[in-house]
Structure 1
Amino acid sequence: MPENSQSPRPSGPLIAITGIGCRLPGGVDSPTALWDAMVRGESLLSPVRGERWEQMSSQLHPEQRPEQPWTIGVIDDIEAFDHQAFSIPAHEAAQLDPQQRMVLEVVVEALNDAGLPPSSLAGSRTGVWTGSACFDQGLMTMQPGRLQRMTTMAGAAMAMLANRVSYHLNLRGPSMNVDTACSASGTALHLARQSLLLGEVDTAIVIGVNLMQFSGITAGFVDGGVIATDGMCRPFDEDGKGYVRAEATAALVLRRLDAAQESRDRVYALVRGSAANCDGYSPAGLYAPNPSVHLELLKQAYDSAGMDPAHVDYVQCHGTGTKAGDSSEGRALARVLAPGREGPLVIGSVKSLIGHTEGASGVVGVIAAALSLYHATIPPTACHETIRSTLKRLPLRVPTAPEPWPQTGRPRTAGVSAFGLGGSNVHIVLEQAPEPVAEDADDTAARPRLIPVSALSEPRLRDLAAAWAPVLADSTDLGRAASTAQHRRDHHPVRAAVVAESPQQAAAALTALGEGRSHPALVGPAGAPSQPGRLVWMFAGQGSQHADMARACHAELPVFREALEEARAALAAHLGRQPWRPGEPIPDFETAQHAIWLTQVAQAATWRHWGYVPDAVIGHSLGEVAAAHAAGALSLDDAARVVAARSALLAELEPVGGLLVTDLTAERAEEVIAAHGRVGTLVAAAYNAPDTTVLSGPEEPLEELRAALDAQGVFTRRVPNDVPAHSPSVAPLTARLAAALDGIAPRGSDVVFHSTAEAAVVDGAALDAAYWARQLRSPVRFTDALAQAVDDGATVLELGGRSTLGRGATATLAERGTDAAVVSAGDADRGDHAALLDQLAALHTRGHSPARWPEPVRSPVRLPVRWDHGQLSDTAAAAPTLAEALTVSEPDPATVLEALVHLVADTLGITPEEVDVDRSPIDLGLSSVAMIGLRDLFHEAHPALSTFGVRLLFDPTVTLTQLSEAILDHCHGVPVG
């Protein structure tokens, strides 16, 4: 981007706008929706209708009640709030200022737009600045004679607009509400920018909010003559008759530019400078602008930005539509910004679209200007036809249709003004963001992508998946969507994931999730435990190979490829030749052994790269070698030496015989061998499951037995590239293997090695040459070893080219009554990269989240945020139930207890089924504030409970059952003990 030598950048870091959230009139609920409305240029204002108008008009003095509803820019439902998402009890949420409620949601939306998971900011130096001049909640609730509670006061306090955000997100930076009237949120941004420049915070959240509940304020403005009588907001227009009040909640996320670029954030615009001042004594009165002070403000702002005022391209003005305000603002702009300019200064105001959002208008104006810079388009000003006569001779122009941003050879620039009733003013200077860093070519390659999706409950998850599906369907870059879902979203307890190779496949899987259906690309949903259990790595043996094994992972995953090539080099050193490489055929037993081991070593390295460390390992036959290396008991060179010697010796037996998989139990297998007179010739070589036994021995008797079993309807299958492993045929090889491995140096390890040769835990240091010689001949006692390795809550991860142990492991654990999950390796036709991501998805849904996600961090995609907007009552939903239960002549103790359980569940944000009635409220986790709230609900439920204190609530020995009994006694005249 070209730099202008006449406009040097200011000293200090540049501040980037990286996230936007908004709720505005006309159903505008995102930066995309706002920009679409701005480009259309059609007013979103209309007369207030329905219940909202009935509520407003009922508050008015009869003399001020209008014949027709006012035109006001209202947000559709200011009562809507997802209290469970913030763990706020319904009875507390019902008493909060709607501004507090909506601010919480919009901040989360802005953080998601910025690609900052809210949890990532916990404990951080993140500051919150809110700008609001709307104290309607206080006017309505803090009335003389009205019963007041702690929640009532906190719900109305303006300081809580910022502090509640800081509390719920656990933010440690400055937290304050700014009230400078209509410049409040602009001033808040100015203060936030200073804090970022000083290094006090690393991230700043700036909020503007204005929700109108008390109609008396509007009536006062109507009486003062500043409200447009025609219901139209016409900034700078000759027919402008005043402004239209409007509601808004808007939030910005600010970060220093260097940090934003390092994180590859989307940057809408830069905040290059800002200034704030006050009119002081204005000759025309307290409510009138002071023109000379406006001039000073503009000069200070552009000095702060290090910018020649003549270089600003567009100004998003305060522009309320009042004659005095428009005239004063226009003259000041012409005096300071017009000199030296080629052509008139282009000005406009988003208030023409949505009305005057008062305390929120500064942030709303900055959002409008930032979006204009981002899209390189100057938006029209709605309702504008003819510039005011007082401004006609000035070099000013108000566009009435979208215009491409003028090409000046300089970065695009815009100013934003906000003036407050009483004289507090602010002007903010924005500049075009630098071009984003180009994505690496590999980042956009076509390959399987993992898209995790999560929520607090399964219904919420389905709703979110349905909202994401159309976004993915329209996406041209699945990698960016996957990166956003992995890195830039919080991962909630109920989880699912999609592993797809195209946006269309991903959208179809998300649609299926939204509809409660399965899909080949969908993993889950499942509930992730807060503390996942032990992780056991399970390494498959012979038979897990296939023709395309490791091909895609080798081509697409650098860590996998590097680990496999390192293992190949180690194996080549002991073979004296180059071993198998992915993509090459697997024609024989020895090659198969090499391919299995190489694949498992590379998989293990990939899992470690993603942050997974096994608590224990278990291997099946050959799989024990990779397991020993993964545990740290064998070095890579020693493991390669074992594989080279072991596979070469066993390969000598390839013409001799092989392996036969059957669905026989261990006992039945022994009976079948004896019945056919093959004791000592055929043996049970491996016990893979309660109903799966692998037989081994010479070719002729093995085939005879297979034919006999087939005739009986017994399932049988020959293992490809097989030898008569773990049978008497192997005995002559054991001494030779021990000699070949003389000198290997196994070592102890913190990872537990469960031996399938001995069905016991074996210390890593004991995995010497003698062990591998015994292991060659010993049967694989997989079921016994697995039962010892896996306890309740554990997760078993299978490593191998394809799944050969997953079904058997699941059956074994189920028979033993072990509550554990098995994450099997994939099928050969799934593709090994996709199969590996399927396993990663399964681990994540079960609570084993990766420390490092597969996708690199890339610029964010707008993936929707969804809320559960149940209606809030004046009290908790269960309070009437408690009242009804207590006011009948003979209260039912079970009904009273049930109502109490619902109240406690609501307060804790859990389901009633999760409430243990044999525990006390304090033992269940209720805080002191929550206890007071619960007491208040008791008071509202029954008059007798107005004297019921919190003593029993705070007594850790009084269970909920006993508390309900005490409530019953108290309400019916029985003294509480």
Structure 2
Amino acid sequence: MMSIEVMHWLRNEIAKLVDRKLEEIDIHKPFSSYGLDSSKTMILSGELSAVLNIPVSPTIFWDFPSLYELSQYLEGNTEAQKLNLEPAASLEKPDRREPIAIVGIGCRFPNASGSAEFWELLLQGGDAVSQYPDYREQLGEMKVERQGGYLDQIDGFDYPFFHVSYREAIRMDPQQRLLLEVAWDALMDAGISPDSWANTKSGVFIGISNSDYGRRELETSEDLHIHSVVGSALCIAANRLSYFLGLQGPSMAIDTACSSSLVAVHQACCSIWTGESQQAIAGGVNVILSNTVTSSLSKAGMLAANDRCKTFDTLADGYVRGEGCGIIVLKPLSKALGDGDEVYAVIPGSAVNQDGRSNGITAPNQASQEMLLELAYENAGIRPHQIGYIEAHGTGTYLGDPIEVKALGKVLSQDKVIDDIVYLGSVKSNIGHLESAAGIAGLIKCALIMKHGIVPANLHFQEWNPEIPQESFPFVVPTQSVKLRSGNDVYAGVSSFGFGGTNAHIVLGRPTHRLPGESESSPFLFALSASRRDGLSVLAQQYVDRLKHTSQTDLHAICSTLLKGRKHHEHRLAIAATSKETLLEALEEYTSAIDSNLPYKGYGHVLSKLPGVVYYFPEHDTRNGNVSEEMTNGDVIYQQSYFVVSQLFLQMASESVHGLGEWRTFAKQFAHAEMLRSWGVRPLSCLGEGVGELTAMVVEGQLSLPVAIERLVRGNYNSTMRAETKIARGDVVLCLSSAPVWFPRKDESMLICNCSDELGKLQLQGQLFMKGLIVPEWSDRKKQSHMLPGYPWNHHSCWKPLGKNESESNGITCFC
């Protein structure tokens, strides 16, 4: 048939299908403008196949979205084919940019809180889709009739932690609450103390496109407040994060519907590449609190009959809605390596484009998807054959999946090596379609794949959709966990498409090689903290469980992360240990003591007003006699200070007094004081007896070190009484450097500073940490921060039922 004949035939058939007059069918208008939906195109493609005697895929009506374009293509018009099928060549190849490292992940997805639980869900082939939670009806919410990927305890929020009043908290969109907690989890997972990012050019980019809670608050509440307006504004979802953390880089909410969160990641990377941001937080969130959208999608036939995303499968008939929140922390790779960060994966390049004029504003465009892939791989500086895994948009629709896979197949088949396999997957088969958070869910899954080298099974796949010409493509959909192709030149891609036509694709590379951890033969300081004492015990128990079920753990790196990469709260636990076994024993002893409401020596509570420190130098040291004392303490400053005193004394004194113990007492006390000064401890005052009086005078600046040693040589010092009037209520007395002959009053506390070895030094640092006086620095140690237990949130129920004010809301508390 000639193009004119095809055009007339199609025009007549379309008029019959949509019940329109022939003259109403304009050959230049998109098919969708006549109501030609997926079911009608299936019928039409079958009839067209019979007329032309060639197979015609229903997706052709999306590739060539008007009668004129389709008829030109079917006749073999090469210009039309070139126009619609060949990706446009980029005008200028971009300069290679430094890869961006994903150093932290925070997530709360259906049946999974945190990257460790999410990875376990994926490995186990977990299906997190379920009925709408009954408790939400008790909160006053309308029941959503369809199954979906829903979150537990959506009303829970630790508002005191974020310095938010209850009155404001109940008016905040739960999406804003989720973002605060999950972003904090992401920073903890990265081993980054949030305080270190304050007042820096750190960007926040959040994908968000809906606010069921905020909309109903503004439309139905009888006691509107400015908190209602702020709590429902989409821009505040990003701005509140920047405000709370004190960040001064770009801060923006991005709405491109289902591609929102992946576009947010792309924008975050671009901001870092241009220097606008030093580092960034990026991700997305989605919460479903209304049956309206679900009902509309269901009536439109867009939701799967059995509420499961059967991606790539012949039974694919729609998707299932889901909710959740995902956040990643991004840094330039060089900065991440310089900071000693653990890296999940790297982003060498990304791209975003638009479908343009397709078969309807919500219809996909294969040619645009091909251009997107080509541009992303060009920006990343890689060839398509290097891709080993694709986390597809993969909603599980009968025509959407083939269009996506055809675009992937055309691009990824370039330069393909025969044995190379590209695995395809979609996290939507596990947790549903998270809409504005869908892209970040797929990206987090992909980053975990790159980190572990394992591709989890894709659920609900049995037989290829017949519209996907898979035999000509190198694709495999894994039905059980498989190993990703080895090699540092193997990459992965993540796709996300907005229903308005905004497409995004991000390339991920393997993390950089990490040096092996340090030997665990030396002792280490394990430190935890929380804003509540019961939260600290929950956190301690989480570490007990983790240590019992983890065989390979670099405890030195973990301890370094806990000390350097955490914000330290009021309630603190510090344990100096020599092995995993001794640490476990101490942690279990602590949790048992807390359960029994008993005191524990390793626990401390930092007051809002830190105590003062008073040094007490005793007259005698019960451990005198070790000539090589300067070499037995593991602190360099201590060793150097002890050596200086010993050399000065030996030069000034005659051999007859070299064996006396007084100078060693003085040397130890002075060396301990210098060591404490290097840690940042500054005494309010010093007191001493005998030799200790000389040390006190030197530390307070009343005597120079040479003069004090000269007096020591001549025995010119008195056994004076200690000046207890220098000790105020609440002060901490540091006894340097042996057990005292007296003890302070009940309103004071005493710490014995006698660091004869590395373990003793760590024990003292732990005691000072629990008092809030120092945070030990292990600057030369690598971090191991990923997948450690998250912060023990103290969740209060913060919900404002329809038509009620805050006085009528509940205040339930639970830990999460």
Question: Alignment partner for residue 799 of structure 1, among 712, 736, 741?
Answer: 736
Q: 1:377 and 1:476, CA in 2 relative to 1: closer, same or farther beyond 3 A?
A: closer
Give the secondary structure class of the aligned counterpart of 1:323: coil
Equivalent of 1:148, from 224, 230, 236?
A: 224
The answer on 1:459 being equivalent to 2:387 is: no
In the TM superposition, what is the alpha-carbon distance from 1:546 to its structure 2 partner? 5.4
User: In 1, are the aligned partners of 2:197 and 2:246 still within 8 Å (CA)?
Assistant: yes
Q: Tell me, in whole angstroms, the C-alpha distance in 1 between the residues paired with 2:696 and 2:158.
A: 48
- Are positions 1:200 and 2:128 aligned together? no
The answer (yes or no) to whether the contact 1:264–1:859 under 8 Å persists in 2 is: no
Q: Deviation digits for residues 115-139 of structure 1, max 9, x if unmatched? A: 0112222222211111012221233
1:406 aligns with 2:331: no
- Give the SS at the match of 2:239: helix
| Match of residue 764, structure 2, among 817, 839, 861 | 839
Letter in 1 for 2:199: G
Output aligned runs, 1:843-882, within 5 Å. 843-850=768-775, 852=777, 856=781, 858-860=783-785, 862-874=788-800
- Aligned CA distance change for structure 1 residues 298 and 122 (closer, same or farther; 3 Å): same
Q: For the residues of structure 1 that align with 2:528 and 2:216, how far apart are their CA atoms?
A: 41
Q: Does 1:810 align with 2:748?
A: no
Between the aligned partners of 1:104 and 1:187, the Cα distance in structure 2 is 20
Distance 1:628 1:562, change over 3 A: same
Deviating more after overlay: 181-190 vs 478-487? 478-487
Among 645, 648, 651, which residue is 1:573 paired with?
651
Q: Is the 8 A contact 1:127 1:172 kept in 2?
A: yes
* Partner deviation per Cα, 1:167-223 (whole Å, 9 max, x = no partner): 222221111110000000000001100111112222211121111001111111111
Assess if the C-alpha contact under 8 Å between 1:139 and 1:214 holds in 2: no
Aligned residue type for 2:766: A
- 3-state SS, counterpart of residue 113 of structure 2: coil
Match of 1:956 in 2: none
Deviation at 1:350, TM superposition (A): 1.1
CA 145–185 in structure 1, closer or farther in 2 if over 3 Å, else same: closer
1:165 is displaced (CA, Å) by 1.2
Q: Of the two structures, which has the highest relative contact order with CA contacts closer than 8 Å and spacing of 6 or more?
A: 2
Match of 2:55 in 1: none
Q: Which runs of 5+ in 1 are unaligned?
A: 1-7, 61-68, 581-589, 647-736, 738-772, 885-901, 907-977
Rate the CA distance shift 1:180–1:243 in 2: closer, same or farther, 3 A: same
Paired residues of 2:136 and 2:143 also in contact (CA < 8 A): no
Aligned-partner Cα distance in 2 for 1:72–1:370: 24
- Check the 8 A contact 2:130/2:147 in 1, yes or no: yes
Report Cα offsets for 1:910-956 as digits up to 9, x if no partner. xxxxxxxxxxxxxxxxxxxxxxxxxxxxxxxxxxxxxxxxxxxxxxx
Q: Give the Cα–Cα distance (whole angstroms) in 2 for the partners of residues 873 and 245 of structure 1.
A: 23
SS, match of residue 797 in structure 2: coil
Question: Which 10-residue stretch deviates more, 207-216 or 379-388?
Answer: 379-388
How far did 1:285 drift?
1.0
- Return closer, same or farther for 1:557/1:268 CA change in 2, 3 Å cut-off: same
Query: Residue type matched to 1:165 in 2?
Result: L
Provide runs of 4+ in structure 1 moved above 6 Å: 53-57, 518-521, 547-553, 576-580, 878-881
TM-score normalised to structure 1 length: 0.68
**1:53-104 Cα shifts (integer Å, max 9, x gaps):** 78899467xxxxxxxx522011112111111111111222112111111111
Change (3 A) 1:10 1:629: farther
2:727 equivalent in structure 1: 790
Matched, 1:629 2:565: no
2:223–2:805 Cα contact (<8 Å) kept: no
Relative distance call for 1:857 and 1:144 in structure 2 (3 A) is same
Mapped partners of 1:384, 1:44: distance in 2: 16
Which of 1 and 2 has greater Rg? 1
In structure 2, give the amino acid aligned to 1:804.
P
TM-superposition CA deviations, 1:955-974 (whole Å, max 9, x none): xxxxxxxxxxxxxxxxxxxx
Write the mapping of 1:334-413 to structure 2, written as runs, cut at 5 A: 334-342=409-417, 343-391=420-468, 392-395=470-473, 396-407=475-486, 409-413=487-491
The question of whether the paired residues in 2 share the 8 Å contact of 1:314 and 1:346 is answered with yes
Q: Which residue of 1 aligns with 2:134?
A: 50
Equivalent of residue 327 in structure 1, options 379, 396, 402: 402
- Cα displacement (A) at 1:491: 1.0
Structure 2 counterpart SS, 1:834: helix
Q: 1:394 to 1:547 in 2, by over 3 A?
A: farther
Indicate conservation of the 8 Å contact 1:579/1:594, yes or no.
Answer: no
Q: CA deviation at 1:49?
A: 4.7
Overall identity of the aligned pairs, in % = 30
Indicate how the Cα distance of structure 1 residues 578 and 331 shifts in structure 2: closer, same or farther if over 3 A, else same: farther
1:872-904 CA-to-partner distances (Å, cap 9, x unmatched) read: 3539xx9998x99xxxxxxxxxxxxxxxxx99x
Are residues 603 and 154 of structure 1, via their aligned partners in 2, closer, same or farther at CA, if it must alter by over 3 Å?
A: same
Alpha-carbon distance in structure 1 between the residues aligned to 2:277 and 2:146: 42
Alignment of 1:498-577 (within 5 A): 498-517=575-594, 523-545=601-623, 554=632, 556-575=634-653
Whole-Å separation in 2 of the counterparts to 1:611 and 1:840? 11
**Do the aligned partners of residues 352 and 595 (structure 1) sit closer, same or farther apart at CA in structure 2, a change above 3 Å counting?**
same
C-alpha distance in structure 1 between counterparts of 2:620 and 2:214, whole Å = 74
1:421 lines up with 2:499 in the alignment: yes
Instruction: State the distance in 1 between where 2:527 and 2:780 align.
Output: 12
- Report the 3-state secondary structure (helix = DSSP H, G, I; strand = E; otherwise coil) of the residue aligned with 1:319: coil
Cα distance 1:842–1:390, how it changes in 2: closer, same or farther (>3 A)?
same
Corresponding residue for 1:583? none
Deviations 1:396-427 (A, max 9, x none): 221112111213x4433100000001101100
Q: Structure 1 CA distance, aligned partners of 2:629 and 2:480?
A: 55
- Return the letter of the residue paired with 1:605: E
| Residue 780 (1) aligns with residue 714 (2) | no
CA contact (8 A) 1:544 1:596 kept: no
Partner of 2:378: 303
Deviation per CA, 1:734-784, whole angstroms, max 9, x where unpaired? Answer: xxx5xxxxxxxxxxxxxxxxxxxxxxxxxxxxxxxxxxx3x34xx4211xx
- Measure the CA separation in 1 of the matches of 2:300 and 2:139: 22
| 1:22 matches 2:91 | no
Q: Map 1:655-694 onto structure 2 (within 5 A).
A: none
Residue 21 (structure 1) shift: 0.7
**2: CA distance, partners of 1:47 / 1:552:** 68
Task: Give the letter aligned to residue 92 of structure 1.
Answer: E
For 2:806 and 2:466, the matched residues in 1 are separated by 62
SS of 1:148's equivalent?
A: coil
| Alignment of structure 1 residues 934-945 onto 2, 5 Å | none
Deviations 1:334-370 (A, max 9, x none): 1111111124432111111111111101111111111
Say whether the 8 Å CA contact 1:56–1:213 is kept in structure 2.
no
Note the C-alpha offset of 1:435: 0.6
Checking the alignment, whether the CA contact within 8 Å between 1:209 and 1:250 is kept in structure 2 is: yes
**Matched-pair contact (CA < 8 Å) for 1:274–1:428:** yes
Q: Which residue of structure 2 lines up, in the alignment, with residue 919 of structure 1?
A: none
User: Residue 39 of structure 1: CA displacement?
Assistant: 1.8
Q: Distance in 1 between matches of 2:196 and 2:683?
A: 26
In the TM superposition, residue 832 of structure 1 has moved relative to its aligned partner by 4.6
What is the TM-score when the length of structure 2 is the normalising length? 0.81
Secondary structure at 2:493 match in 1: strand
Deviation at 1:478, TM superposition (A): 2.7
Between the aligned partners of 1:170 and 1:30, the Cα distance in structure 2 is 24
What is residue 263 of structure 1 aligned with on the other side? 339
Q: 1:628 to 1:406 in 2, by over 3 A?
A: same
1:37 aligns with one of 102, 114, 121:
121
SS of 1:71's equivalent in the other structure is: coil
